[in-house]
């Protein structure tokens, strides 16, 4: 039933998708399409913006308005769209390389600026499309094609950064926890202000292979094992957090989004202009 209703939001002629067997992107893509269907979003008023990378190809399969932009810049493009036409639903689909790494600066400012845009980030912990290089979310010690002897940098916790930078709704789940994913997506897509759903995803071809995490099935099971509810994660002693991923809602605030604040600026400008005219 749900699959059928998501169909109008998919470009069926472009399916099957080009992602590798065992990749988590298809799960996230279908969850996004389902969310659009459940919310009944008009296709004419929905815009998806992607950057570059594996998940940056998600727009090829979505039958809504779409911009496939430049690497890391999806949120900056989305900002222009939403600011120019606040009546649109604007969703940015990015990977960790796109959002957290190349686009890190835009991500911070999108959280802070607080336009009503939803960022959906497929975090597979590496640059999958270009051969498994490390990204900003690659955990320390991991093997990647550019850190064959172990990664010397620490991974970025995108959700904590987003919450600290002022995002209104922030949640993380994994491709294993599809029901949570559906729920978080719906909450994010209907939340005023900037929202983020980070989805931990599997890349069996690069990150999984380099780090001996097994095939698609083992990687999927691993998400079930390492995911710890946020509250529980907080209670864990530091050494036990190693290798685990906190899932849950990191921020859920109600606040005035940019569009509303800016409308007042525009009204003030009109008032000032009217005053100027009447003084003459």
Partner 1 sequence: MGGVYLQMEDEIASMAALVGASLAGARSFTATSGPGFSLMQENLGLAIALEVPCVVVNIQRSGPSTGLATRPAQADLMQARWGTHGDHPAVALAPATVQDCYDLAVRAFDLADLLRQPVILLGDEVIAHARERVVVPESPEEDRGAGGRREPACPPEEYRPFAAGPDGVAPLAWFGSRYVFHVSSSMHDETGFPNARPDNAARVIARLHEKVARHAAELELYRIYQGEGARYLVVAYGASARAAQAAVAEARAAGIPAGLFVPLAVWPFPAGALRQVAAEAERVLVAEMSYGQLALEVERILHREVVGIHRYDGEMLTPEEVLKGLERGASRCW
* Shortest Cβ 167–partner 1 spacing (Å): 15
- List the Cα angle 249/114/228 in 5-degree steps: 15
Fill in the DSSP letter of residue 97.
Answer: I
Pairwise CA distance, residues 44 & 241, whole Å: 44
User: 172 - beta bridge partners?
Assistant: 198, 248
How far apart are CB 32 and partner 1 at their closest, in Å?
16
Query: From CA 21, how far away is CA 119, in angstroms rounded?
Result: 25
Give me the residues that bind partner 1 (CB under 8 A), please.
11, 14, 43-45, 47, 49, 52, 59-60, 63-70, 73, 76-85, 87-88, 105-106, 108-109, 262, 266
Residues listed for the chain: 280
Report, in Å, the least distance between residue 18 CB and partner 1. Answer: 10
| CB closer to partner 1, 59 vs 198 | 59
Closer to partner 1 by CB, 5 or 145: give it.
5
Integer CA distances (angstroms), 205 to 28, 143, 209, 212, 236, in order: 18, 13, 6, 10, 31
Please state the closest distance from residue 68 (CB atom) to partner 1, in A. Answer: 4
User: Measured from the CB atom, is 84 or 277 closer to partner 1?
Assistant: 84
Helix (H) or strand (E) holding 65: strand 65-68
Name the minimum Å distance from CB 183 to partner 1. 27
- Of the two residues 110 and 220, which places its CB atom closer to partner 1 in the complex? 110
Rounded (to 5) percent helix, strand, coil in the chain: 50, 20, 35
The DSSP output letter for 204 is I
Quote the least distance from Cβ 139 to partner 1, whole Å.
27
The distance of closest approach from Cβ of residue 16 to partner 1 in the complex, given in angstroms and rounded to an integer, is 15
Q: What is the DSSP string of 206-228?
A: IIIHHTT--SHHHHHHHHHHHEE
**Residues 151/144, Cβ–Cβ less than 8 Å:** yes
Q: Which is nearer to partner 1, 4 or 44 (CB)?
A: 44
Nearer to partner 1, 102 or 219 (CB): 102
Which CB, 92 or 163, lies closer to partner 1? Answer: 92
């Amino acid at each position: 039933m749900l699959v059928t209703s998501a169909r109008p939001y998919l470009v069926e002629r472009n399916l099957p998708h080009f992602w590798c067997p065992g990749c988590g992107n298809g799960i996230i893509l279908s969850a996004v399409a389902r969310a659009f269907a459940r919310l009944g979003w008009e296709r004419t008023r929905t815009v998806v913006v992607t950057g570059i990378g594996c998940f940056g190809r998600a727009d090829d399969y979505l039958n809504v308005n779409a911009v496939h932009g430049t690497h890391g810049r999806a949120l900056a493009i989305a900002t222009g769209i939403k600011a120019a036409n606040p009546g649109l639903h604007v969703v940015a689909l990015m990977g960790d390389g796109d959002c957290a790494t190349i686009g890190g600066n835009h991500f911070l400012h999108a959280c802070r600026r607080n336009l009503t845009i939803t960022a959906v980030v497929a975090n597979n912990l590496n640059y999958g499309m270009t051969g498994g290089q490390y990204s900003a979310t690659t955990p320390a010690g991991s093997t990647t094609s550019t850190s064959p002897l172990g990664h010397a940098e620490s991974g970025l916790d995108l959700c904590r950064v987003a919450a600290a930078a002022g995002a209104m709704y922030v949640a993380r789940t994994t491709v294993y926890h599809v029901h949570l994913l559906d729920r978080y997506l719906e909450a994010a897509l209907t939340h005023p202000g900037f929202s983020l759903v980070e989805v931990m995803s599997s890349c069996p071809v690069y990150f999984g292979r380099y780090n001996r995490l097994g095939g698609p099935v083992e990687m999927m099971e691993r998400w079930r094992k390492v995911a710890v509810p946020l509250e529980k994660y907080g209670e864990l002693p530091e050494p036990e957090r190693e290798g685990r991923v906190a899932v849950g809602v990191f921020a859920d605030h109600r606040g005035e989004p940019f569009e509303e604040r800016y409308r007042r600026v525009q009204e003030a400008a009109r008032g000032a202009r009217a005053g100027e005219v009447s003084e003459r």
